[in-house]
Structure 1
C-alpha cells in the first residue's frame, strides 16, 4: 500500500528543533510539505483593519522562500496554498491521498479549531501532533488549565519551584540544560533558495509587497541574529541596560520577528543563553533576556487556558467595562497625530516599518486605552495588522494587560507619555527622527508638547493627560 506522509507547516517555518520533520523523516516514506496562507488574513475587522498588512506579508513570504530552499535541497517538495485553511487542507490532503500528517500543535484559538475540523473531516488519516511552539511541554507544567495561575508572577514562581530554571539570584547551573531539549536535527544543509520559484503555489498567487523591510524573514536570518546578539557578550550581558531604548536596533535582541512565525525556536534561544552563561557566568542582563522569553511562554499558555476570551472586549474580566469607539480619535492615534511626540513617533515608525520597541508599545497602548478610553481591541487589531512580529498570544496578552482587562482591574495605572519620552530618550533622538524635528532642539523639550511648541509649529494635543486620565477613572468607578 502506498503511504504518503505530509508535514503541515503552520507557525513553525524552520528545520531546526522540528519534531514533525524528524518523525516524518524516520518513517522513510514519500514525504512532502505544505503551508496554507490563511485567507482570513485578508478579512476586514472592525474598525476597517486587515488581519495582516504588507510588512508581515513580506516577512512571511521571505520566510517561506527560505524554508522551501531548505526542504527542496533535501529533495522534499514544498507547496504553498492560499485559501480558507480547513477547506484548503481537506481538499489538498484528499487529492494527495495522504495517509499520515505530521505537524506542531499551536495554542491559538483559530489554529486549534482548524486542526480539529480537518481531523474530523479526515478520520482515516493518522495524525502525529507534536509540541514545539513553547519552551515547555504540557506535562512539565505543575498545574492543570483549570487552576492556571493567571498572573505572570505566580506562573513564574510555580515553574521555578517545579523545574530547574535560570533564576535571577542564582549562578549558572548545567542542570538548567535538561529542562528544555530540542528535537534532534534531520537536515544539515538548509540552503536558501535564490528565488521565489522554489515555493510552488496553487490557485491565487501569494501576495507580496516587494521591496525590502527592516529585517528579512527566514531561518538563516534568525540564526544569524541569534549568534550576533545572544552570542555576543557585549550585547547579551548589557541587555537590561539597553532594552528600553527605542531607537538603536541593537538596544534589544529583535528575536521576536522570527519567533513569531516560528523561523526560530524558543528552545534554541533558551539554550543559546545558557551556552553564553556557561562560558561567561550569569548576570542580570542574561537572566533578563530569559525572563522576557518566560513572558512569551506565559502568554502562550494563558491563551490556551482561556480559549477565546483573550480576543473579546471583556477580556479576562468577569464583568464588562465601558469602552469608547470614537473613530476620529482612533484615526489620530493610528496616524501619529495625537500631539504627544512619543506616541506620534511610535505610531509613525509602526506604519513605516512594521515595528516599534516594547517601551514604545506600552506607551502607545496605555495612551489609547487610559487617556482616550478607546476599545482596546481596536488597538490590538491595528498592531495585528502592522507588526512584523505579531504573535496572537503576546499581542493580545500584552494589550489586555495594558488595557486592564487581564486578570483584574483594581487600579488604573497609566504611562505618562511625556515623562517616559524624557526618561528613556533624553536626547530626543527617536522623536526627532520619526517626526522630522530639528536636530538642534534641546532633548528636554522634545517630548513635552508645551515646550516643543515654543520651538516649532507643534499642534495642540488632542487631550490633556491628567484630565483625560481622571475622566477615565470616573468612567470606571475607580
Structure 2
C-alpha cells in the first residue's frame, strides 16, 4: 500500500507531521513537489509573483529536500504542473491510498487543496495537518479563531501562560529501498531558473543574506547563530541593525519555505537557555516566533480581508496609485536617503532588514499615501523570506488598516539618526 506526501511550504524532513504520519501508515511512501505555473505568473499589480531571488532559494530548498528524502528511500517526484493535475496522475499510477499534506487556508492555496481532494476522492483519502505553527491551533486558549484578539500583546501573554509548545516529531525511519525505475515518466530533474522563466540574479557582495536554501543550511545557521557564535545572547540589542549577517538570525527565509520549523528553533533556544545562558535576548527570539504565529492566526480569523485595500479594519482611505511614485519608490528615488538605501538593498539582494521594511512601508503608505497592496505585492515578488501571512499582515499593520492599535507613522529622519547614526548603511548602498 502506497502513501503520498505532498510538499508545499514545508520543505524539510525534521518535525514534519504529514511525512511522519504517512510513514506510520505504510513502509511504501513517495513524495511530490509541484512547481505550480501560477506561482511564476504576474501579480495583479504587475510584478512577477515569484521573483528570481525567491525562486533561487526555493530551487535550492527543493534540491536539499530531495537529497534528505533519498536518505530515507523516499523518492521526490518533481512536476512543473498544477498540483490538481499532477497529483491525481501519480495517485492513479501508484494506487495511492492516502495523500498527506500541510494545511493551508489563504484563498489561492485553499482552492488548490480542495481541487486536489476532489480530483483524487475516488481513489485516495486526503489528510491535511497544521504543520507550521509554534503554538498548535488545537492548544491555544481560544475556543475558535474568531476569538483571536486584535492586539498582539494580549495574544502573546495568554498563549505564553496557557499553551505549551509541542515537542518536535522525529525523522521517520529509513524505508525499504525504492526502485526508482518504477517512477518512469515521473522521474524529473529540478528545473532551472530559466525554465521557470527567470534570469539568474547577480550576487551582490554587500548582501546581508549570502545563504543557501534548504533544511541542511537552515540547521547549519541555527548551529552557527545560537551555539557557535552565540549571537542570540545579544539578539534584542542588535536586531535593528542594518549591515552584515550577524545582527539578526535570518531564520525567516528557512521558516518561510518550511525548511525549518518554529518548534525546532524554539526547542534549540530552550536547550541553549538551560545549558549556556538565559536572558532578555534569548527570550526575544521566542517573542519574534510568537509574532510570526500571531499573523498566521490573524489570517485564519480574517481570511481574504488580508488582501483587501481596507484591511481587517475595513478602513476607507483615499489611496493613490501613481505609476511615477511607484517607479521612484522601487528605484530608490525618494526624498529620504534611508528609504532609498533600503530599496536598493532589496532590489539587488532580495533582502531587507526588519527596520528597513517598516520604514519603506510607512513612507509608501503614510507619506506618499499610495495603495499599500502595491508595496506588499512588490515585497512578495522579491523577498527571499516572503511569508504570505507575515508580509500582508505587517503591511496592513504599518499602513493603518491592520493590527496596530496606535496607527503610527514613522519619522524617517529620526529613524535614520537612531539606526544609521554614522550613515554607514546609506553609504554602503550609494550608487
Q: TM-score, normalised by structure 2?
A: 0.90
Give 5+ residue unaligned stretches, structure 1: 165-178, 190-197, 437-478
Rounded to whole Å, the distance in 1 between the matches of 2:262 and 2:349 is 24
Deviations 1:371-417 (A, max 9, x none): 00000000000000000000000000100000011147x76421121
Matching residue of 1:423:
418
Q: In the TM superposition, what are the counterparts of 1:106-145 in structure 2 within 5 Å?
A: 106-124=104-122, 125-143=124-142, 144-145=144-145
- Counterpart secondary structure, 1:138: coil
Q: Structure 1 residues 88-97 or 411-420, which shifts more? A: 88-97
State the shift of 1:202 in Å. 8.9
Q: Structure 1 residues 278-287 or 107-116, which shifts more? A: 107-116
Q: Structure 1 residues 213-222 or 198-207, which shifts more? A: 198-207
Deviations 1:323-366 (A, max 9, x none): 11011001100111113111101011001000000000000000
Instruction: Tell me which structure has the larger Cα radius of gyration.
Output: 1
Matching residue of 1:161:
161
Q: Which of 38, 41, 46 is matched with 1:40 structurally?
A: 38
Matching residue of 1:448:
none
Rounded to whole Å, the distance in 2 between the matches of 1:283 and 1:107 is 36
Matching residue of 1:466:
none
1:270 aligns with 2:270: no
Q: Structure 1 residues 203-212 or 87-96, which shifts more? A: 203-212
State the shift of 1:426 in Å. 1.3
Q: CA contact under 8 A between 1:231 and 1:272: conserved in structure 2?
A: no
State the shift of 1:207 in Å. 5.3
Q: Which of 65, 77, 102 is matched with 1:79 structurally?
A: 77
Q: In the TM superposition, what are the counterparts of 1:49-448 in structure 2 within 5 Å?
A: 49-124=47-122, 125-143=124-142, 144-164=144-164, 179-186=165-172, 200=189, 205-206=195-196, 209-210=199-200, 214-232=210-228, 234-407=230-403, 412-436=407-431
State the shift of 1:79 in Å. 1.4
Deviations 1:422-464 (A, max 9, x none): 211112111101114xxxxxxxxxxxxxxxxxxxxxxxxxxxx
Matching residue of 1:193:
none
Q: CA contact under 8 A between 1:59 and 1:388: conserved in structure 2?
A: yes
- Counterpart secondary structure, 1:14: coil
Give 5+ residue unaligned stretches, structure 2: 176-186, 204-209
Rounded to whole Å, the distance in 2 between the matches of 1:183 and 1:133 is 13
State the shift of 1:318 in Å. 3.1
Q: CA contact under 8 A between 1:78 and 1:199: conserved in structure 2?
A: no
Q: CA contact under 8 A between 2:372 and 2:396: conserved in structure 1?
A: yes
Rounded to whole Å, the distance in 2 between the matches of 1:256 and 1:227 is 15
- Counterpart secondary structure, 2:78: strand
- Counterpart secondary structure, 2:352: coil
Rounded to whole Å, the distance in 2 between the matches of 1:252 and 1:319 is 34
User: Over the residues paired in the alignment, what is the CA RMSD in angstroms?
Assistant: 2.2
Rounded to whole Å, the distance in 1 between the matches of 2:62 and 2:232 is 29
Inter-CA distance 269–201: structure 2 relative to 1 (3 Å threshold): closer
Deviations 1:279-311 (A, max 9, x none): 134211111111001100101111111111101
Q: CA contact under 8 A between 1:142 and 1:159: conserved in structure 2?
A: yes
Deviations 1:20-52 (A, max 9, x none): 222222233432110111222222223311111
Q: TM-score, normalised by structure 1?
A: 0.81
